[in-house]
Amino acid sequence: MLTTQRTRITGTTAAALICAPGSGHGKSMVTAAMARLHRNAGRSVRVFKHGPDYLDPMVLELASGAPVYQVHGWMTGDEEIRWRLAEAARDVDLVLVEGSMGLFDGEPCSADLAVSCGIPALPVIDARAMGQTFGALALGLASYRPDVKVHEVIANRVGSAYHTQLVGESLPPGISLLGAIPRSEFFTIPDRHLGLVQASELPELDAALDAAAEVLKEAGLDRLPAQVTLSADAPLPIPRLLTGRRIAIARDNAFAFIYPANLDVLRSMGAELTFFSPLTDQALPACDAIWLPGGYPELHGKTLSGNTAMRAAIRAHHSAGKPILAECGGLMACVDSLLDTEGVAHAMYGLMPGQARMAGRLKGLGMQAMAGSGDSAHEELRGHAYHHSDLDTPLAPAVLTRRLRGSAGEAIYRQGSLTASYFHGYFPSAPQLIADLFNGRAVAAGH
């Protein structure tokens, strides 16, 4: 019998939301370097990422040595955010949250998280090509909303000691300069169409993080942020809706977009998880269901197409009526063919008719939700879409997601036991719906 009594969790630790006036100010690498700096100093560090991001968390996990969970007021909910941060605060010396976009961008925005959890915002401001205007930017961030606490800022990419002096003297009363980071090659990570290159593809990244941490140390950024006390109720246990269910999850350089919380909730529901590589493995592990998450199948079309043994195994699983959930890159692998960025077509698994074609621009973006049906009619699977490809298929959608503002979003396709979409779901938001999918019960309702 599941308990209905919630446990109160309280922890005190150094904490900050690393944010910026907008994208491109360098907050991701500053957050990673700060995590590595304090880890190298012998402190325990936990890092969280605001928003539905897969790539930054890979770098942050390598930097901190601990799993990085996504937090977002709409997708994960404020209660879950407060619980995750409070739980971390009980056990570690430093909690960092990397914001998304600009401090006040989005709905909800990074600033909303800082207010909800009671942690200060620590803006990173790119100081290149500016002097005293740095202070105006800092003042604007600190005064735009009175409920957001901004007491310190970080100047990034300063050019000299005099430049540091200029930006420091420009700050208004009540805001101090935590540190000034000089321009450095160690704060650059290559990117591609979906964002940063995956950490697993950068063998030199670990050494670069150590070097970036040393740059921060020399800049005087080895001081911990202010201590805060974080408190929240732990969530109630999830019913074991997947007891004994064996789920095989694709995980390699072609399929790596997986929220840690999704794995947690599957295990909490009693599922047995195994992992396989569609790129290199010749057979599926023994399983009742498959999850093909998002990733970069377009970069590995030749290898995926050439692994005919794996294609046959997945087709046999589908023909046997066993469930498959395919998200974004997983969807692209399930159609007849994939046209890559060079215009070369590669044979895919052929579980549903159509061709995925890489486009020269972003084709889908934003927070979305999928409604449940039957036992999960009270639930809404929240998540997002972000893709640079189009799908040409004669198959009609079984359901459409809804966008955060209410309009129709991505198509959810059903073909036999396959459920496929460009939509990435956050499983903890709708455990019954997820259990239905992996148990082979179709979700037919929607917007």
Q: Kindly report the length of the chain.
A: 447
CA quadruple 427, 428, 432, 435: dihedral positive or negative?
Answer: positive
CA quadruple 251, 367, 82, 137: dihedral positive or negative?
Answer: positive
Q: How far apart are CA 50 and CA 40, in angstroms?
A: 24
Is residue 241 within 8 A of residue 4, CB to CB? The reply is no
Would residue 328 show up in a list of annotated catalytic residues for this protein?
A: yes
Q: How far apart are CA 43 and CA 66, in angstroms?
A: 12
CA 15 to chain centre: 20
In b/e form, how buried is each residue of 59-91, taking b as 16+ CB within 10 angstroms?
Answer: bbbbbbebebbbbbbbbbbbebbbbbbbbbbee
Q: What does the H/E/C string look like for 233-300?
A: ECCCCCCCCCCCCEEEEECCCCEEECCHHHHHHHHHCCCEEEEECCCCCCCCCCCCEEEECEECHHHC
Q: How far apart are CA 445 and CA 249, in angstroms?
A: 26
Residues paired with residue 12 on neighbouring β-strands, in sequence order: 229
Q: From the candidates 109, 287, 328, 334, which is the catalytic residue?
A: 328
Element (H, E) at 78: helix 78-91
Residues paired with residue 99 on neighbouring β-strands, in sequence order: none
Q: Under 8 Å CB-to-CB from 145, ≥6 apart: which residues?
A: 104, 111, 115
Cα Rg, the chain, nearest whole Å: 23
Q: Is the peptide bond before 108 cis (omega within 30 degrees of 0)?
A: yes
CA 305 to chain centre: 28
Q: Which residues are tagged catalytic?
A: 328
